[in-house]
């Protein structure tokens, strides 16, 4: 390999990382970056995108209505990310609002409510039907009962975003609905940390929104992952950056995964803009 190729430079950016970084990216111009992208990872909350895909599949099949009401009960309680655990039991929201909470603030209770609605087997069968054979939801979120949640790979994760980006996941309209939810995701721990913030903040700058991110991150003791669609004036690209085997399992903003992963994301971003819509 050329020592200054894009792949070589990506590896050089994370050479001092204590764990392992695997990456998948596609510029939709025939250039795919694959750095151990078939390696299996604990997904963390990244599995919630596959749950969202199953939800919209059942909506398309008229098995679920996004306007149906669901209730948060004591049986649904689980610790971890989200806001519902701070609310009283009995809160009722639409299916769509539970799905929105599951994605934009990674609400674990909303996730479990949707898993009960959709069925784990249905979620896994759909992943397999879509060609994501390395993606499996093992159980609901319950940290007292289970150590893990789900398994996936950077490639599988990147490819579900490819389907959404190309508006081929179930239908153009459904892909656009999913995209709008993912654009509002709050925890861009890896993909956007090192990107020029000016371009991501049109509300405050008053400038035109030139760049947006539609993504979902996921973190557990064993992983720190992020992936999604980067929209630019030159087009869109998809990237998934997963990390594991790091020395420090604690959660804080300067964790090494949140330092080295963003370096890789920025390198891809700069390359894509410099070449006006291509990695190579």
pLDDT at 202: 66
pLDDT at 22: 97
The Cα–Cα gap between 228 and 213 comes to: 7
Percent of the chain with pLDDT over 90: 80
Average pLDDT taken over every residue of the chain: 93
Residue 214: alpha-carbon gap to chain centroid: 8
In this predicted structure, the answer to whether residue 253 has a pLDDT above a threshold of 70 is: yes
The helix (run of H) or strand (run of E) holding residue 21 is strand 20-26
* Residue 43: pLDDT band with limits 50, 70, 90: very high
- pLDDT tens figures, 94-131: 999 999 999 999 999 999 999 999 999 999 999 999 99
Domain boundary assignment for the chain: 6-274
- For 113, other C-beta atoms within 10 Å of its C-beta total 25
Q: Which of 106, 107, 105, 99 is nearest to 70 (CA)?
A: 99
- For 210, other C-beta atoms within 10 Å of its C-beta total 14
pLDDT at 171: 97
In this predicted structure, the answer to whether residue 78 has a pLDDT above a threshold of 90 is: no
In CATH terms, the superfamily for domain 6-274 is DD-peptidase/beta-lactamase superfamily (3.40.710.10)
Tokens of 202: 């049109």
pLDDT at 129: 96
Q: Which of 61-65, 91-95, 141-145, 165-169 has the lowest mean pLDDT?
A: 141-145
The Cα–Cα gap between 200 and 97 comes to: 25
The Cα–Cα gap between 158 and 137 comes to: 17
- pLDDT tens figures, 175-185: 999 999 999 98
Instruction: For residue 41, report the phi and psi dihedrals to the nearest 5 degrees.
Output: -130, 155
- pLDDT tens figures, 187-236: 878 999 999 888 887 666 667 778 999 999 999 899 999 999 999 999 99
**Sign of the C-alpha dihedral computed for residues 220, 221, 223 and 225 taken in this order:** positive
pLDDT at 1: 59
pLDDT at 184: 93
pLDDT at 186: 86
Instruction: For residue 225, report the phi and psi dihedrals to the nearest 5 degrees.
Output: -125, 155
- pLDDT tens figures, 19-42: 999 999 999 999 999 999 999 999
- For 35, other C-beta atoms within 10 Å of its C-beta total 17
Contact 214, 233 (CB under 8 A): no
Q: Which of 182, 146, 141 is nearest to 161 (CA)?
A: 182
Which residue, chain included where needed, has tokens 């992020």? 226
pTM score = 0.94
pLDDT at 156: 98
Tokens of 215: 């993504």
């Amino acid at each position: 390999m050329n020592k200054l190729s894009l792949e070589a430079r990506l590896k050089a950016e994370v050479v001092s990382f204590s764990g392992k970084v695997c990456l998948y990216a596609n510029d939709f111009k025939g250039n795919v970056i694959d750095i151990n992208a078939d390696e299996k990872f604990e997904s963390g909350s990244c599995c919630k995108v596959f749950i969202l895909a199953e939800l919209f599949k059942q909506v398309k099949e008229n098995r679920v209505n996004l306007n149906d009401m669901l209730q948060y009960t004591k049986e649904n309680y689980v610790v971890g990310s989200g806001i519902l655990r701070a609310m009283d039991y009995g809160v009722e929201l639409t299916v769509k609002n539970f799905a929105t909470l599951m994605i934009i603030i990674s609400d674990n209770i909303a996730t479990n409510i949707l898993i009960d609605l959709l069925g784990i087997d249905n979620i896994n069968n759909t992943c397999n039907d879509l060609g994501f054979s390395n993606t499996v939801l093992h159980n609901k979120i319950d940290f007292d009962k289970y150590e893990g949640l789900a398994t996936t790979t950077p490639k599988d994760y990147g490819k579900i975003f490819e389907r959404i980006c190309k508006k081929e996941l179930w239908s153009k309209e459904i892909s656009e609905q999913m995209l709008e939810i993912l654009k509002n995701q709050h925890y861009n721990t890896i993909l956007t940390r090192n990107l020029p913030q000016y371009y991501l903040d049109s509300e405050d700058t008053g400038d035109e929104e030139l760049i947006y991110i539609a993504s979902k991150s996921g973190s557990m003791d064993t992983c720190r992952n992020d992936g999604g669609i980067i929209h630019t004036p030159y087009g869109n690209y998809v990237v998934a950056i997963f990390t594991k085997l790091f020395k420090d399992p604690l959660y804080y903003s300067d964790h090494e995964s949140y330092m080295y992963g963003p370096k890789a994301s920025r390198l891809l971003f700069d390359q894509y803009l410099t070449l006006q819509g291509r990695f190579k």
